[in-house]
Amino acid sequence: MASLIAKRSSSSLLGGLRAAAARTYASIAVGSDLVSAAPGVSLQKARSWDEGVSSKFATTPIKDIFKGKKVVIFGLPGAYTGVCSQQHVPSYNNNIDKFKAKGIDSVICVAVNDPYTMNGWAENLKAKDAIEFYGDFDASFHKSLDLTKDLSAALLGLRSERWSAYVEDGKVKALNVEEAPSDLKVSGAEVILGQI
């Protein structure tokens, strides 16, 4: 019995590793509906602890973020990390007027963090007035989109891939996923601006 369990565990582990190694991009694609891909999922708008308490820890359903709107969303591994803080968020913050000129209703940053950390980080970057920050505290949004990455080697655990998308009324019009979390080749503001 123990050898049968070990054999099953071994083969399922190898299968999972093969699948993970083979996957380079998310299961969502251009044309996908984010609301359908993440049914029942909500994000947590960046806020202080006191704001969380007064809102009774309210969350924002995905459909409320995307339905009837033109949205640019970008995901990143985590608040206060190198490329995220020094390059990724600034690329959007510095180009916010160009997004507005193209008719974008919202530019959104999402990471597998709690909304309180996201709030402090947004304030630290002086980006909270230009970009909407959301926490995906349990990674449910990113799991739904197959956009997670295990960054335990960097002591971060399960996190988001580095990615960006242009979304109209919930439909993905452009999607960019970096090959490595330290890359910023395809998910920065300049690339997505050219895709709108």
Question: Which residues form the catalytic set?
Answer: 84
Number of C-beta neighbours around residue 13 at 10 A: 10
Number of helices and strands in the chain (H, E):
10, 9
Q: Minimal CA–CA distance to 193: which of 84, 70, 80, 111?
A: 70
Q: How far apart are CA 169 and CA 69, in angstroms?
A: 5
Residue 163 has phi, psi (to 5 degrees) of -155, 170
